[in-house]
Amino acid sequence: MPRGPVGRRPGSLVASRPLPVALAATCYATAMRALPGRFRRAYGREMLLDLEDRLEAMWMRSGTGAVVVSLAASLADLALRAGRERGRQLVHFLGVGGGPGRAGAARLHGRPGGASGYSLELGERAMNGSRSLGLAVRSLLRRPGFAAVTVLTMGVGLGSVIAIFTVVHAVLIQPLPYPDSDRIVNLEHHAPGIDLPNLNNSPGTLSMYLESADFVSALAGVTTVQRVLTGLDLPQRIDVLGVTDQFFEVMGTVPAVGRPLLPSDNVDGAAPVIVVAHDFWTTGLGANPDVVGSRLELDGVSTEIVGVLPEAFVFVQPGPVGLVPYGPLDPQNFGTFGTNGVGRLAEGVTLEQARVRIDALQARIPELFPDIDAAFLESAGWSASITPLKEDLVDDVATTLWLVLGTVGFVLVIAWANVANLFLVRAESRQKEIAVRVALGAGRARVAASFLNEALVVGVVGGLIGALVSQAGVGALMSAAADSLPRSAEVALTPTVLAFTVLVSLGSGLLLGLLPLTRFRSGATAGVLRDGYRGSTDGRGRVRLRSVLVMGQLAMAMVLVVGSGLMFRSLAALRQVDPGFTPDGVLAMEVSVGEAMSIPEAATFYAGVAERARAMPGVAEAAVVTQAPLMSGTMNGGSFHIRSRPTEDDELPAVGYYRAASPEYFRTMGIPLLEGRTMTSADLDGSTRSIWIDRSFADTHFPSSEFPDGAVGELITWDGQLLDDEPDAVPWVEVAGVVGDTRYISIQEDETANAYFPLRTGALGYPALTTATVVVKTDGPGSPAAYADELREIVAAANGSVPVTRIQTMQEAMRQALAGDSITLVILGIAAGMALFLGAVGLYGVISYVVSQRTREIGVRMALGAHRDQVSAMVLRQGAAVAAAGVALGLLGAFGLTRIMRAILYESVSATDPVTFVLAPMLLLAVSALAMWVPARRAARVDPMRSLRDD
Amino acid sequence: MSSSHEPTADELLPLKTSWFHILLALSEGALHGFGIRESVEARTGGKVKLYPANLYGSIQDLTELGLLDALSDDEQPDDDRRRQYYRLTRRGREVLTLEADRLQQLVDAARAGRAPAG
């Protein structure tokens, strides 16, 4: 046959079509089975031909992505039409069953526009049917196995969706719990040119906006402050928010008791005051009604409680127990960033207008702050941004949460498909019973209602089980992820969640009940009685519908397997990352002396604790550091200067971070010394003025091209302000050694430039020592956690009013650093496992059914000399087509979804990771083969004599 | 009751958007499904999309209502024998005209309402 349009056979895989188009057409062709046979015979061929032409044009114009999108739209369109056509069949069935003389079918075909009449009739029938709800329960209970499997499958599917929806609703959908919360915005700055892509605010920027910003009606600086609270039971560290005057106006709240913080509280020398949170008032202060006017001891300072926040006031990040004055804002301090800026948009100002106006204000920075010139701002890539507060809070987790919701949505659909398959089987097994009932005069409507009622009962009971499952699930999720999830305090069972639960449960039940009904045709029941069910053409229709269901299940399982495979690869890559220290056997104890001690006093105190810890049996080494890796703590830093290489005017200063450590720190953590000398106790009195830097610091700021002798011996300082005015007074420190890189912020972070001061260099005014971590390396067997109690006793014995704020092994810190990813992987993994299992069960069910239907045919074939292997192969071929179509559709879907995954994968893993995309289809096909193997073997074992005799 | 079998042309109004566009496309002569789609998408600048199931579903509905019929094999043009051609029936043309009149009245009303203000 000559090549060309006439020679092409529509409806088959044509070699001349590009592969994505051919794959998509196969999927569409399979999905077309959802349409009634009559419709397909009339239009199917041309529909497919049109689709192929359309997709091919798309592919040539815009590539595979457009094909996937267009296929999805076409499938949605197909689903709508299939639903309508099947609905017509159903109405037809019910209409004829309503009684003799009713020309329901004729009317239906005559008036597609007049649907309202039918829904009314349906409604009437449903009313009648509802009386037999009790019957449905009894009927289900007669087959407890069927009832249990369907109800539990629906329960698990619904439960996981409800659980994740509860979290998504609370975190992403619900507005923040403040009046007109969509008007509350977060102000940020960006300086990508000096490696500071995200900066919040400094006293200078806040003063500037308070002075000149007309786009906000109120503006406040907010910063989290740690205080040590004494005078109640045990000393404890608490978080409070330091806020400027207008905080209450921004958030739209006033204290329930007492007064808010006033401008007079925010001046130098004002008496210390606090407004406490409602929670803290009830749990910490015994809900004392006369609390206003009483006093708390914070960092040793007597502080007056002037108010209590209302019960409904929720902190966006859980933790703080009260509000304290921020203190006066220094309008000339441009450089000390670290304060969040929140504002309330002024009346009538849109977000876009506010963005334009804040941009315009940035141009005034050089005139307001003489130290900052326009050239510096330009080279830093300086800009300001305004984001709705909610967006700013939940942005990090939004992708993960939507992904997880999509995942469990898939599981629900797969679970639903499995239950639907079970219902189809059950409908078949009841064929004869139904035919007899109809023949005896039972209305078809009543028969249909009995199906619908059973399905609704399964949906409702499944929904109840789902609600219980979801409560357990939300509890488990919150205990595992509450710390890493913003707004976790707001996660609760709300009316919206309840409505969602009811809707999804009833919807699932309704869909379940309608599905088997579409398989009935008006003439079919008579045929059942006449022929017996076996061999009638209806069987093929059912297999087709069930094959489509199974194909969809396998496709979704494929997407989930790819998703969890990618997540697994990402986590595996993260576990391979060398954190730069040896966590084994190391216990870290965070201790806070607060502001009560001077820096030398604090240094002596911490060193004393470490010394006593070192004397404990089983402890090899102990040290002090102001920030331990992967734990919270104080990290200081910013731009610094190198003496031998002054910064040019148009050049950006170098940026590095520092912390303080005792000499034993590097040994305790297993951080190697690469160059120079090691830190000794001689460095502690400040006389040597030395500093140690890590490999990244050295490579970034002392490249061998400019520093052929390396970094050791170079002088640096973070006190840049003195350089111009009093060059002699600059406290230079000398680089004494270079040590290995350590990941402090997260496992994922790129190497940042880190430096270490000796602990007791307090004279230089560098790292604050309000909080420090004592790290202990044990050499005994067993977990280092066993030493925790003894360490606490050492601190308590040294000073009874100093709290131990955290004790954790470094192994735990490593685990927690990967906890978010681990939870995502576990959820995706469970979902993929369930999807795979349910898909395999579905495939097994369909193939078993086909074998049971074709037993006689197989018997004939074998009697005529067909070999067992040929029979097995015949059965496997049928299943393989379904599995292959499912895998192909799933692969297309997975490719489409990888864009979402990219945001949460570790950088070394590609979203189209070839290993995952090769192994996942293989796994799916292997599981499918396993599911088909059992029924195929059964087919091969058919005894021709018996199968022919039995029928 | 024959009226319930055969709704009058008037009872079919207003027409669904996709139906109106299909009838409009066929008013210029017989077309196959693919041709109808191209004509509609060209006329509406791609705003009205006719995906296959909706397109052929609508063709089925319109045929059952007696607004279209399929060309017999002898009448089919030679250029593409794989595809079934359709044309408007007399009733189809009548419904299309009535719908166009109805839309015209709406347009007139809208213009008249706007005129004093503008």
Whether the pLDDT of residue B88 is over 90: the answer is: yes
Enumerate domains of chain B plus CATH numbers: 13-113 (1.10.10.10)
Say what the pLDDT of residue A121 is: 46
| pLDDT at site A650 | 63
Per residue in B10-42, pLDDT (tens digit) is 788 888 888 999 999 999 889 999 899 999 989
- CB–CB of A325/A265 below 8 Å? yes
Determine the pLDDT at residue A840: 82
Query: CA–CA separation, B27 vs A28, rounded Å?
Result: 31
* A495-517 vs A144-168: helix crossing angle, rounded to 10: 140
Q: How far is A865 from chain B (nearest CA, A)?
A: 41
Q: How far is B89 from chain A (nearest CA, A)?
A: 17
Beta bridge pairs of residue A241: A224, A323
pTM over 0.80: no
Q: What local confidence, expressed as pLDDT, does residue A119 receive?
A: 42
Per-position DSSP letters for A486-551, written without gaps between them: TTGGG----HHHHHHHHHHHHHHHHHHHHHHHTT--TTHHHHHHHH-STT-THHHHHHHHHHHHHH
pLDDT at A368: 86
A84/B contact by beta carbon, under 8 A: yes
Q: Which pLDDT does position A101 carry in this prediction?
A: 34
For A136-171, what is each residue's pLDDT tens digit?
A: 777 777 777 778 888 888 888 898 899 889 988 988
**Per-residue 3-state assignment (H helix, E strand, C coil) for A442-470:** CCHHHHHHHHHHHHHHHHHHHHHHHHHHH
Mutate to test the interface with B, among A9, A61, A77, A107 (most CBs of B within 10 A): A77
A35 CB neighbours in chain B (<8 A) are 53
Chain B nearest-CA distance from A85, in A, is 9
Confidence at residue A705, expressed as pLDDT on a 0 to 100 scale: 87
Token pair of A512 as six digits: 């379940």
A685, two tokens: 């009195």
Chain B contact present for A869, CB below 8 A: no
Query: Helices marked H in A289-443 — which ranges?
Result: 351-362, 365-368, 374-380, 389-429, 431-439
Q: What is the pLDDT of residue A10?
A: 42
In terms of CA atoms, which chain A residue is nearest residue B83? A46
Q: Which of B51, B58, B60 to mutate to test the interface with A (most CBs of A within 10 A)?
A: B51
A to B CB pairs, distance under 8 Å: 79
The Cα–Cα gap between A805 and A238 comes to 9
Rounded CA separation A709/A695 (Å): 15
Helix (H, G, I), strand (E, B) or coil at A351: helix
Residue B19: closest C-alpha in chain A: A113
Q: Is A77 on the interface with B (CB under 8 A)?
A: yes
Token pair of A808, please? 């954790």
pLDDT band at B80 (very low <50, low <70, confident <90, very high): low
The reported pLDDT for the residue numbered A542 is 64
Torsion of CA A754, A760, A764, A769, to 10 degrees: 70
Burial letters A317-356, b for 16+ CB under 10 A, else e: ebebbbbbbbbebebeebeebebbbbbbbbeeeeeeebbe
Tell me the C-alpha distance between A616 and A787, whole Å. 9
Q: Which of A35, A50, A54, A56 to mutate to test the interface with B (most CBs of B within 10 A)?
A: A50
Q: Which residues of chain A have pLDDT under 70?
A: 1-15, 90-134, 195, 233, 432, 441-446, 482-484, 516-542, 632-635, 649-652, 686, 721-722, 750-751, 761-767, 947-951
Q: Does residue A107 belong to the interface with chain B, where contact is any CB pair within 8 Å? A: yes
Q: How many CA atoms lie within 13 A of A516 on its CB side?
A: 26
Torsion sign (Cα): A230, A232, A238, A242? negative
- pLDDT, position A740: 92
Q: How far is A46 from chain B (nearest CA, A)?
A: 7
The candidate with the shortest Cα–Cα distance to B28, out of B16, B46, B40, is: B40
Task: Answer for the pair A905, A570: CB distance below 8 angstroms, yes or no.
Answer: yes
Q: Is A577 exposed, middle or buried (0-12, 13-18, 19+ CB in 10 A)?
A: middle
Q: How close A125 gets to chain B, by Cα (Å)?
A: 22
Is beta strand A636-642 parallel, antiparallel or unpaired with respect to A236-243? Answer: unpaired
